[in-house]
Structure 1
């Protein structure tokens, strides 16, 4: 498999940021790591191996980025305004620094499909919804789409802008993004097993908002034996990728 590792300075974040690329061409996928994770987790937990055939055949090219969750969503003892400010800086890093690099490496202007598990799924959905001009669709597995368990009652404009259930609820039906969403490929899944209770509740809430706005999405709820864990995401990812590429 063709792989390349990059470590590049981010003006937005004022630090070196790492990412890794798998494959040489194809539909670009941007993978967000699970909570507090790193660019190498998707490979280390066996997710890349589940789609190696598509990578080797040039059907997809996978870009795994780094997160700064420990400074933002996970830092519940930190100042909430600063935490969400740092998340916004990371958002600008992804959209204005990493996406142009993806296009450069991919040698195309194709819109990108976002992918993630757990908090990575939360980011994957949020980025696609915030920037449907950049992102074609999403595969989100076991995500949480509200801000309450991370920011409690704190909600400034940045928290609102990064909380899908908030901004979808407040988005008028004639907002131009609504029509753009209708042409995106949205796949959101969740199990009903161990450690999925909060994610399942949030997935249903997001489902109801999408359907109320008449935004087509495949919301796929798996069984009561399906836990919030890598072995199940290893099964889900190639299955959903096959569907989203059709």
Structure 2
């Protein structure tokens, strides 16, 4: 399997940033790590191996960026407002550095995004904020309400990065053209949030699939089963 390591000085983050890319051709998939995860997490946890058939057959090219959660949502050493601003820097980096690189390398202007657990939040937030540039969203045991990490703080910046809030008012027409799967285990700690998000999408008439896996928990074995199946549904 072809593997490439990228490392560059990010102008949006003011620091070095790393990303792994698997495959040489295929539909681009940006795959976000779990909470405070690194760019190599999916390789170590077996998810890249689970996707190997798609990569080897040049059906997908997987981009695995770092997170900066330890500096943003999980950073209790700074104020909640600063945590949010740090995340906004990450969001800008994703859009203007990672996404632009993906488009340049693949020639495809609407990408797929996915993530497990807190990576599901990043995937959903990116997809819902920029639906004109995302064709497929695969959220695996994701969360959609970030307010629990902000010690009661709330402002406009939080609102516009909290999908459970802004999606009620989001009328971007590209949302109705996106393939959306919310995958979750029946004993998952994030099941309630997935059911709530599914309700918001349903009330807006946005087509999606809430896939609740029976006899499963919030863990890698179910995610390693989910994502290959979801990718097989790409048309």
Mapping of 1:206-245 within 5 angstroms? Answer: 206-223=197-214, 225-243=215-233, 245=234
Uncovered stretches (5+) of structure 1, i.e. residues with no partner:
none
Q: Check whether the contact 2:29–2:60 (CA below 8 A) recurs between aligned residues.
A: yes
Q: Check whether the contact 2:28–2:108 (CA below 8 A) recurs between aligned residues.
A: no
Mapping of 1:54-133 within 5 angstroms? Answer: 54-106=54-106, 108-133=107-132
Query: CA–CA distance in 2 between the matches of 1:77 and 1:214?
Result: 41
Q: Check whether the contact 2:80–2:151 (CA below 8 A) recurs between aligned residues.
A: no
Q: Give secondary structure in 2 for the equivalent of 1:4.
A: strand
Q: Any runs of at least 4 consecutive aligned residues in structure 1 with deviations exceeding 4 A, and if so which?
A: none
2:196 is the alignment partner of 1:188: no
Q: Which residue of 2 aligns with 1:203?
A: 194
- Write out per-residue CA displacement over residues 35-73 of structure 1, whole angstroms, 9 at most, x where no aligned residue: 000010011100011111111111100000000001111
Q: Across the two proteins, how many residue pairs are aligned to each other?
A: 235
Q: Check whether the contact 1:31–1:65 (CA below 8 A) recurs between aligned residues.
A: yes
Moved more, 183-192 or 149-158: 149-158
Q: Which residue of 1 aligns with 2:139?
A: 140
Q: Give secondary structure in 2 for the equivalent of 1:71.
A: coil
Query: CA–CA distance in 2 between the matches of 1:62 and 1:89?
Result: 23
TM-score (norm 2): 0.97
Q: How far is the alpha carbon of 1:105 from its aligned partner? A: 2.4
Q: Which residue of 1 aligns with 2:24?
A: 24
Q: How far is the alpha carbon of 1:77 from its aligned partner? A: 4.6
Query: CA–CA distance in 2 between the matches of 1:46 and 1:6?
Result: 20
Q: CA RMSD in A?
A: 1.1
Query: CA–CA distance in 2 between the matches of 1:3 and 1:208?
Result: 39
Query: CA–CA distance in 2 between the matches of 1:152 and 1:118?
Result: 21
Q: Which residue of 1 aligns with 2:159?
A: 160
Q: How far is the alpha carbon of 1:75 from its aligned partner? A: 1.8
Mapping of 1:162-177 within 5 angstroms? Answer: 162-171=161-170, 175=171, 177=172
Q: How far is the alpha carbon of 1:90 from its aligned partner? A: 0.3
Q: Give secondary structure in 1 for the equivalent of 2:123.
A: helix
Q: Check whether the contact 1:27–1:110 (CA below 8 A) recurs between aligned residues.
A: no
Uncovered stretches (5+) of structure 2, i.e. residues with no partner:
none
Q: How far is the alpha carbon of 1:110 from its aligned partner? A: 3.2
Q: Give secondary structure in 1 for the equivalent of 2:148.
A: helix
TM-score (norm 1): 0.92
Query: CA–CA distance in 2 between the matches of 1:56 and 1:234?
Result: 17
